[in-house]
Amino acid sequence: MGKKKAVAEESHSAGGARAINKFRIGDVIMMAVIVILCATCVLPFIHVAAKSVSGTTAVMSKSVYFWPKDLNFDAFKRVFGDSSMTYSMGFSVVVTLIFTLLGMIVCTCAAYPLSKRRLKGRSFITFILMVPMYFGAGLIPTYLLLSNIKLLDTMWVLILPLIYSPYNMLIMKNFFMSTIPDSLEESAFLDGATNFQILRHIILPLSKPIIATLSLFYAVGRWNSYSDNMYYTRDAKLKMIQFKLYQLVASASEAQTASLADTGGVAQSAPEVLQAASIMFVTVPIIIIYPFLQKYFVQGTMIGAVKG
């Protein structure tokens, strides 16, 4: 679109040379702004990456910018050698997978029936399922509830309370209502298919894009958040990798070394390099896959914006 406009401008513009000139300056300025903003998104990570594979002395002498000095992988060896780090990573993967699977099931169970206009009691059930989006009970009542049902300090406290998401349900419901023609189902219905069969053999195969998108919403959401990890668990075996990183680095700003030493494993000397390696350990997986995720995220967000 941009290109077409540019061509059109050059042929239609009454301003002649002046307009074209102005146009180019504007273009350069805008590209420069975008490049600078992109740099703020990329350079910090390049810096951390360079630091993570640099020698301790080079980092201590503050001469590492965006290129490693005294290249070595000692810090990474330490991080990978620290069983609590690799454990947390593995635990995060397991929790995220279970969470995503259960989340998609509960989401479909809610969205499919509610996408049927004929369903009796539909608006009431929708209301019941949407209330939690607008009014939460708050931390303490939720905490006591989870304590009463004996979920505190179990893996399930990181999964069950959040698998039902009103927002994701709305997106899926909107998708069903807007993209799958009623006629398709009606004919299946007349052929004697049950609701389950229609869902399995007609709806789900047609919904692959939204299933991919919402699975990623669930997975990335679970992967990145850790406040529940902070509220509801104490057991070191239940630390997801983001929480681990938070404790290791972000919260360690006051007494960096002390706090690092506490955790054993990834500890002692050269905290800066080790911190950088820990950050990279947690960040690289998401950076690698996010160019692929991004497309689905954009789609999902757009569908979410259209109301059913």
234 is an interface residue for other proteins by CB under 8 A: no
Which DSSP symbol is given to 194? -
The residue among 83 and 301 lying less far from other proteins, judged by its C-beta, is 301
Which 266-285 residues touch other proteins, going by CB under 8 A? Answer: 272, 275-276, 278-279, 282-283
Is residue 20 close enough to count as binding other proteins by CB under 8 A? Answer: no
Among 12-20, 70-78, 81-89, 261-269, the segment contacting other proteins (CB under 8 A) = 12-20
d(CA 260, CA 275): 9
Show the binding pattern over residues 187-216: x = contacts other proteins (CB under 8 A), - = does not: -------xxx--x-----------------
The widest CA-to-CA distance across the chain, in whole angstroms, is: 77
Could you give the CA distance from residue 297 to residue 224 in angstroms, rounded to a whole number? 15
Q: Which stretch binds other proteins (CB under 8 A): 20-28, 74-82, 202-210, 260-268?
A: 20-28
Give me the torsion for CA of 50, 56, 59, 63, rounded to 10°. -90
* Smallest distance from other proteins to CB 275, Å: 7
Scan residues 123-152 and list those touching other proteins (CB under 8 A). 123, 125-132, 134-145, 149
Q: State the amino acid at position 209 in one-letter form.
A: P
Report the residue from 51, 171, 172, 203 that binds other proteins according to the rule CB under 8 A. 51
In this structure, what token pair is assigned to residue 61?
């002498």
Euclidean distance between CA atoms 75 and 189, whole angstroms: 62
Candidate ranges 7-15, 69-77, 78-86, 262-270; the one touching other proteins (CB under 8 A): 7-15
Query: Would the CA dihedral through 244, 245, 251, 254 be positive or negative?
Result: positive
Looking at residues 70 to 99 of the shown chain, list those that interact with other proteins (rule: CB under 8 A). Answer: none
Q: Name the residue nearer to other proteins (CB basis): 97 or 145.
A: 145
CB 83 to other proteins: min, Å: 20
183 binds other proteins (CB under 8 A): no
- Asked if residue 109 binds other proteins (CB under 8 A), the reply is yes
Residues 285-304 that bind other proteins (CB under 8 A): 286-287, 290-291, 293-294, 297-298, 301-302
For 278-307, the DSSP string reads HHHHHHHHHHHHHHHHHHHHHHHHHHHHS-
Does residue 26 interact with other proteins by CB under 8 A? yes
**Binding region for other proteins (CB under 8 A) out of 34-42, 77-85, 202-210, 259-267:** 34-42
Distance CA 281, CA 92 (A): 13
Using the rule CB under 8 A, which residue among 93, 101, 155, 160 binds other proteins?
Answer: 160
The whole-angstrom separation of Cα 184 and Cα 78 is: 58
Q: Which residue in 105, 184, 204, 258 binds other proteins (CB under 8 A)? A: 105
Q: Which stretch binds other proteins (CB under 8 A): 71-79, 82-90, 238-246, 258-266?
A: 238-246
User: Minimum CB separation from other proteins for residue 148, in Å?
Assistant: 9
- Token digits for 235? 């057991």
The backbone torsions φ and ψ at residue 286, rounded to the nearest 5 degrees and listed phi first, read: -75, -35
Pairwise CA distance, residues 241 & 249, whole Å: 12
Question: CA torsion, points 238, 243, 244, 247, in degrees to nearest 10?
Answer: -130
CB 156 within 8 A of CB 228: no
